[in-house]
A and B are shown apart, each in its own frame.
Chain A
């Protein structure tokens, strides 16, 4: 049993314009201590996934069906009081915008101490000491002095550190990080990622890391799920996803990022844009943007299948590389015709990139 098991999660928003299908039959699992990445463009349903884990979906949103089991317990069946105990105590969250995540009217220390007091049942003095310890843990210099600073006295990177300290306050088993470095400069981003890595190791905390930045995922995560229009389209280890992508969307995404050191003139792009989650294309949602799409793709909506066997994916198999594309079930007449080249370092330095090793592509 994995620590977190999400099974067939469907979240809907009932709006005036129609029903927004934010996530569709979403299943994945996170082990204790694992770093799990969720990648996708805006509108892919990434943030909704995090919010539903904490049951923070507000009206008009509804968790329509599915199960979210945390340590074997279905979170969707807990009472509000039990859920409050889980939030912060066992699962906590880090947001993109640290500035708005902190209350400007209280000092940073007070806010952390409050979280500590609430969950750990400590008196004021103990909570203060614990908060200073936490601020030190996240690398804030002179923590005892900075305890009584207000959020606006912190720089952007320091604010994000404070938010992380707050998330750590009760030693959670799972941290949901929602684009935690997107608003930061690269040099600060590197600091925060290093910090998160240290924390994950030191406290053996699992992290669900949501981002649109493929570089950050490659650096930080063990396993990755790629989402498109509310659907999971590919799940695998980072190596599999980056060296051997098996869903056309992942391939398109990978080929449209500019890479330093790559001297190609034009970027390969995915034409068009992600569909509105209210009115999605029939069949495979990606077919209007997919160069490999055929007639059949407009009729069948593909399930996540093992890319080797074509059998239905098993979420509990952590070594499985699964993709939701008809190419892997044999229903597509053509093949996914692309080539991933990984230049080997030795050869590349010797022959300046002309020698190539090709990652194999199965059809």
Chain B
């Protein structure tokens, strides 16, 4: 292991699950794949804490478990201390378990209710034959005291403890094998505020004492900001931004990071910023959007090069265009609701329903739009589709953004890529080397 090799490094890690399908579906090969983790790369230095945040269903827990090889990755490699552990045999993996551990979200379900605390913590020692007899009990007591419990608790069962105490037992179990790397999977989100602070302090103390490296997974940005040295933000199985908390929380930011941060309520009644409210919910990982996966909710989608738009206007037109393409427009109920009798009333109704202004600021765009609405009025989705064509196409739906250095942080967004800033969707642009728009990369 070379000196500048990080403790753990993942390259293009992918984990796809088979969607629940029955026997017949499997026989006929009708499977769907959930792309829980879709090609992420990250590295964590020794003694460092990397925070991993994202909304539920973004695949952050799967990343943790795939790094630990509890789930076999679909693709990609994981290097631990310079060795590719995806190639390990099951015996080698068992040895590896002494070096990497996991702390869980739900302290109730992460401890076997039928075992005493002694058995739970002792199991780790037994499996690897670390301590026996008298010294085993001594070690367990030592571990209990280390995590702030009394040694006299060793013979009790989990149901006799409170949530915070159970979480401490879970931590003691992970520490029993003296690991170098611990994945903390939402370790404080099930706990009360005051207990949460106790556990966060405990994790910090342990890191200082034993130099443990953490991957800290959480949905709560304020917790991650407190504990992490660097933070990675995930959206739909991909990392969209990585950086230190200071870098991440200051511009330039990925629009998703910006929105996520803005949504976190601040415990200060006077705090009243411009909130960015993201519309809709995270799309299904079964069928993620093409190009940049965030474009369906992104408040900063890049407009096409040849058209001039206000951002709001552009978003309204863009979402209308998507619905024309998918044919998902309830025209019947629209006519009823707005009491439509002729073509111009239909035009008004459509625009009102989709928050599109009566006239778009760009004459060319206006022409395309009104032609589309006319086609719809005559009941032809096909002609509407022809009319709209790819006029409202953006690079965000066509090209997948890659992580690139932008003033210290790494961001995966076309906004920071000079090639797309004018909204060009030229296919050839994607094949070239990415160039940073805002600053040069510094590696």
| A→B interface (CB under 8 Å) | 41-42, 142, 144-145, 155-158, 185-191, 193-194, 212-219, 238-239, 242-243, 252-254, 256-262, 265-271, 273-274
CB distance from A209 to the nearest CB of B (A): 12
CB distance from A222 to the nearest CB of B (A): 9
Whether B330 lies near A144 (C-beta < 8 A) is yes
Whether B330 lies near A256 (C-beta < 8 A) is no
Whether A253 lies near B281 (C-beta < 8 A) is no
Whether A258 lies near B263 (C-beta < 8 A) is no
* Cross-chain pairs A/B with CB under 8 angstroms, 12 sampled: A185-B55, A186-B221, A187-B259, A190-B262, A212-B193, A214-B267, A256-B194, A257-B197, A260-B225, A267-B197, A269-B201, A274-B192
Whether A258 lies near B200 (C-beta < 8 A) is yes
Question: A142 vs B280: C-alpha distance in the bound complex, in angstroms?
Answer: 13
CB distance from A125 to the nearest CB of B (A): 14
If A216-B265, A267-B197 touch, whether A261 touches B192 (CB-CB below 8 Å) is no
Whether B197 lies near A187 (C-beta < 8 A) is no
Say yes or no for B81: interface residue by CB 8 A criterion. no
B201 cross-chain contacts in A, Cβ below 8 A: 266-267, 269
A265 cross-chain contacts in B, Cβ below 8 A: 204
Interface residue tally of chain B, by bracket? 35 or more
Say yes or no for B127: interface residue by CB 8 A criterion. no
Whether B55 lies near A187 (C-beta < 8 A) is yes
**Quick one: which of B227, B260, B269, B271 contacts A187, CB cutoff 8 A?**
B260
B61-105 interface with A by 8 A CB criterion: none
If A186-B219, A256-B194, A261-B249 touch, whether A215 touches B266 (CB-CB below 8 Å) is yes
A258 cross-chain contacts in B, Cβ below 8 A: 197, 200, 222-223, 225-227
CB distance from A307 to the nearest CB of B (A): 18
Interface string of B210-226 (1 = CB under 8 A from A): 00000000011111011
Top-6 shortest CB links A-B: A215-B265, A258-B226, A256-B197, A41-B192, A190-B263, A267-B197
Question: A217 vs B269: C-alpha distance in the bound complex, in angstroms?
Answer: 8
If A186-B219, A260-B225, A267-B200 touch, whether A273 touches B265 (CB-CB below 8 Å) is no
Question: A293 vs B431: C-alpha distance in the bound complex, in angstroms?
Answer: 68
Beyond the given A142-B330, A257-B267, could you list 9 further A-B residue pairs with CB under 8 A, ordered by the A residue number? A186-B55, A186-B219, A186-B260, A187-B55, A190-B275, A218-B265, A260-B221, A269-B194, A273-B165
**Quick one: which of A188, A214, A261, A266 contacts B281, CB cutoff 8 A?**
A188
Whether A238 lies near B194 (C-beta < 8 A) is no
Say yes or no for B264: interface residue by CB 8 A criterion. yes
Question: A42 vs B162: C-alpha distance in the bound complex, in angstroms?
Answer: 11
If A187-B260, A188-B281 touch, whether A239 touches B269 (CB-CB below 8 Å) is yes
| B→A interface (CB under 8 Å) | 55-56, 162, 164-165, 192-198, 200-201, 204, 219-223, 225-227, 249, 259-271, 275, 277-278, 281-282, 330, 333, 337
Question: A188 vs B223: C-alpha distance in the bound complex, in angstroms?
Answer: 18
If A260-B222, A265-B204, A267-B200 touch, whether A253 touches B193 (CB-CB below 8 Å) is yes
Whether A257 lies near B164 (C-beta < 8 A) is no
Whether A242 lies near B263 (C-beta < 8 A) is no
Whether A257 lies near B330 (C-beta < 8 A) is no
A239 cross-chain contacts in B, Cβ below 8 A: 269-270
Whether A191 lies near B277 (C-beta < 8 A) is yes
Question: A353 vs B191: C-alpha distance in the bound complex, in angstroms?
Answer: 31
Question: A188 vs B260: C-alpha distance in the bound complex, in angstroms?
Answer: 10
Question: A193 vs B220: C-alpha distance in the bound complex, in angstroms?
Answer: 17
Whether A273 lies near B195 (C-beta < 8 A) is yes
Question: A155 vs B56: C-alpha distance in the bound complex, in angstroms?
Answer: 12
CB distance from A238 to the nearest CB of B (A): 4
A158 cross-chain contacts in B, Cβ below 8 A: 281
Whether A213 lies near B259 (C-beta < 8 A) is no
For residue A264, which residue of chain B has the nearest CB?
B226
For residue A271, which residue of chain B has the nearest CB?
B198
B262 cross-chain contacts in A, Cβ below 8 A: 190
Question: A212 vs B163: C-alpha distance in the bound complex, in angstroms?
Answer: 15
Question: A158 vs B278: C-alpha distance in the bound complex, in angstroms?
Answer: 14
CB distance from B234 to the nearest CB of A (A): 12
Whether A219 lies near B266 (C-beta < 8 A) is yes
B200 cross-chain contacts in A, Cβ below 8 A: 258, 267
B264 cross-chain contacts in A, Cβ below 8 A: 186, 215, 260
**Quick one: which of B193, B225, B263, B282 contacts A214, CB cutoff 8 A?**
B193
Question: A253 vs B267: C-alpha distance in the bound complex, in angstroms?
Answer: 11
Question: A42 vs B195: C-alpha distance in the bound complex, in angstroms?
Answer: 11
If A185-B56, A267-B197 touch, whether A144 touches B267 (CB-CB below 8 Å) is no
CB distance from B63 to the nearest CB of A (A): 17
If A185-B55, A194-B277, A267-B201 touch, whether A256 touches B265 (CB-CB below 8 Å) is no
CB distance from B323 to the nearest CB of A (A): 10
Whether A219 lies near B271 (C-beta < 8 A) is yes
If A142-B330, A186-B260, A266-B201 touch, whether A259 touches B267 (CB-CB below 8 Å) is yes
**Quick one: which of B55, B197, B267 contacts A242, CB cutoff 8 A?**
B267
**Quick one: which of A188, A193, A252, A266 contacts B194, CB cutoff 8 A?**
A252
A41 cross-chain contacts in B, Cβ below 8 A: 192-195
If A213-B265, A259-B222, A260-B222 touch, whether A266 touches B204 (CB-CB below 8 Å) is yes
A266 cross-chain contacts in B, Cβ below 8 A: 201, 204
